[in-house]
């Protein structure tokens, strides 16, 4: 599974893996793909530095990348404290009432909320970048828009490729105009923040829009056959996020959540604003239903919703309150039915890819390999 982009980056397979877990990122690169660590949960730069040091020590010199979340549309000059003050009392009450309804205990005294994703606030993301540029990252990806021009320039000065996620051809064009090197075309099926266009339609649209820039196809990919389909649509590789959540290297801290993921079907996700204030695909739970209920207070815009629910989500996760317990994940969750190591995922991907290519060769009347 080699393309011009995988050759440029010096990886065996054009399979890029987004993950919040350093052990998974390192395992993806060791398996011949390109691991990308998600930074959004790192509020403290020292924690990110520690985990990037860990990756450096475990990746054997192979390339890896970092993903930050710098929203193109941001509330200028609004810090976390100001944002907290903008949250209406009625919304705070709704959180408390919902937690009380399900008997979710408080966090023990002195235990901070672990699920505090402030990384999309520009001042936090910039501190993450200062750390990241001190490590040998080969690619910097940004969700939710093109990164600011000075960040692109700084990456290029350091020889780091810049990637950005796009949910439409219009987004992709903006990325190209902002000097981005790689566009990740992320379809509606994907886990996390998504647009409304399915990968089958989006990938070729983006490929055509930004030609000759390389495009990675994201959303709904979990098998080698799907990798082959993405490459057939003109992508120079694939970008997978959900499939790593049930790998043995992933550290979800919740056996109940892993069980839920393994049992979920492709119908069990929803695109909801419940977690962050922007539409993000995730497991459908009583929590997402409460926020999506037209009789409820509705969600707040980013970044307020994320700040509003941070403590609640930590409590739900800590006590594994099953009806409310969820995570961002895409529709491919329906094919994630067993725990596998990252290496096993790669073995399955390469075998499936070869089968798909053989089949297409037969369909085209050519003999297989
Ligand atoms: C748990 C989870 C968290 C995610 N968080 C981010 C993120 O912080 N930044 C980002 O660029 N993409 C994020 N994504 C989206 C992935 O980068 C990727 O585009 C997506 O998972 C691909 O579709 P798939 O889920 O069908 O594989 C997340 C996805 C998942 C499943």
Q: What is the pLDDT of residues 108-124, one digit of tens each?
A: 887 766 656 555 677 78
Q: How far apart are the first and last CA of the chain?
A: 15
Q: How far is the CA of 294 from the centre of ligand 1 (A)?
A: 27
* 336 CB near ligand 1 (under 6 Å): no
pLDDT at 74: 54
pLDDT at 300: 95
Residue 78 has pLDDT above 80, yes or no: no
* 333 CB near ligand 1 (under 6 Å): no
**3-state SS class at 358:** helix
pLDDT at 302: 86
Average pLDDT (326-350) is 98
pLDDT category at 303 given cuts 50, 70, 90 is: confident
* 326 CB near ligand 1 (under 6 Å): no
For residue 297, count other CB atoms closer than 10 A to its CB.
Answer: 15
pLDDT at 317: 93
* 214 CB near ligand 1 (under 6 Å): no
Average pLDDT (14-18) is 98
**Which ligand 1 atom is the nearest neighbour of the CA of 38?**
8
Our mutation pick for probing the ligand 1 site, out of 190, 269, 332, 333, counting the most ligand atoms within 8 A of Cβ, is 190
Q: How far is the CA of 335 from the centre of ligand 1 (A)?
A: 17
Average pLDDT (125-142) is 94
* 185 CB near ligand 1 (under 6 Å): no
Note the Cα 181 to chain centre separation in Å.
Answer: 19
Average pLDDT (274-294) is 96
Average pLDDT (227-248) is 98
241-250, 256-265, 303-312: the lowest-pLDDT one? 303-312
Q: How far is the CA of 238 from the centre of ligand 1 (A)?
A: 12
Q: Name the residue at shortest CA distance from atom 14 of ligand 1.
A: 192
CA atoms within 13 Å, Cβ hemisphere of 195? 22
pLDDT at 73: 55
pLDDT category at 12 given cuts 50, 70, 90 is: very high
CA distance 138 to 265: 35
| 16 prior amide bond cis, ω within 30 | no
CA atoms within 13 Å, Cβ hemisphere of 78? 17
| pTM score of the predicted model | 0.95
pLDDT at 101: 97
pLDDT category at 235 given cuts 50, 70, 90 is: very high
User: To which H or E segment does residue 141 belong?
Assistant: strand 139-143
pLDDT at 208: 98
Can you read off the two tokens belonging to residue 160?
Answer: 């780091």
pLDDT at 98: 97
Residue 18 has pLDDT above 60, yes or no: yes
Residue 224 has pLDDT above 90, yes or no: yes
Residue 164 has pLDDT above 70, yes or no: yes
Of 334, 36, 328, nearest in space to 190 by CA: 328
Residue 172 has pLDDT above 80, yes or no: yes
What is the overall mean pLDDT for the chain?
93
**Which ligand 1 atom is the nearest neighbour of the CA of 332?**
26
pLDDT at 25: 98
Of 227, 241, 230, nearest in space to 348 by CA: 227
CA distance 318 to 104: 10
Q: How far is the CA of 199 from the centre of ligand 1 (A)?
A: 14
Average pLDDT (68-76) is 65
Our mutation pick for probing the ligand 1 site, out of 15, 17, 18, 190, counting the most ligand atoms within 8 A of Cβ, is 18
CA distance 18 to 65: 9
* 40 CB near ligand 1 (under 6 Å): yes
Instruction: Find the length of the chain.
Output: 369
pLDDT at 125: 84
pLDDT > 70: percent of the chain: 94
pLDDT at 137: 98
């Amino acid at each position: 599974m080699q393309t011009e982009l995988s050759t440029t980056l010096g990886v065996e397979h054009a399979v890029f893996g987004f993950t919040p877990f350093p052990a998974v990122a390192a395992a993806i690169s060791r398996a011949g793909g390109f691991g990308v660590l998600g930074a959004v949960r790192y509020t403290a730069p020292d924690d990110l530095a520690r985990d990037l040091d860990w990756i450096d020590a475990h990746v054997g010199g192979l390339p890896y990348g970092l993903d930050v979340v710098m929203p193109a549309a941001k509330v200028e000059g609004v810090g976390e404290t100001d944002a907290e003050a903008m949250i209406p009392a009625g919304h705070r009450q709704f959180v408390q009432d919902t937690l009380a309804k399900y008997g979710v205990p408080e966090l023990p005294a002195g235990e901070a909320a672990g699920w505090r994703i402030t990384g999309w606030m520009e001042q936090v993301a910039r501190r993450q970048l200062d750390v990241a540029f001190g490590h040998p990252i080969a690619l910097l990806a940004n969700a939710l828009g093109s990164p600011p021009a000075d960040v692109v320039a700084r990456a290029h000065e350091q020889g780091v490729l810049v990637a950005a996620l796009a949910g439409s051809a219009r987004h992709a064009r903006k990325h190209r105009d902002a000097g981005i090197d790689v566009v990740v075309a992320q379809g509606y099926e994907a886990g996390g923040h998504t647009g409304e266009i399915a990968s089958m339609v989006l990938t070729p649209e983006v490929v055509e829009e930004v030609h000759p820039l390389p495009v990675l196809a994201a959303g709904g990919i979990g098998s080698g056959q799907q990798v082959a389909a993405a490459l057939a649509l003109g992508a120079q590789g694939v970008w997978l996020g959900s499939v790593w959540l049930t790998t043995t290297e992933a550290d979800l801290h919740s056996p109940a959540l892993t069980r839920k993921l393994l049992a979920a079907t492709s119908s069990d996700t929803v695109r909801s604003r419940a977690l962050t204030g922007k539409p993000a695909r995730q497991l459908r739970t009583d929590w997402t239903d409460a926020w999506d209920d037209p009789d409820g207070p509705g969600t707040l815009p980013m970044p307020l919703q994320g700040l509003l629910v941070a403590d609640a989500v930590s409590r739900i996760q800590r006590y594994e309150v099953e009806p409310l317990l969820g995570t961002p994940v895409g529709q491919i969750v329906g094919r994630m039915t067993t725990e596998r190591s990252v290496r096993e995922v790669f073995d399955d991907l390469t075998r499936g890819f070869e089968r798909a290519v053989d089949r297409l060769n037969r369909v085209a009347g050519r003999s297989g390999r």
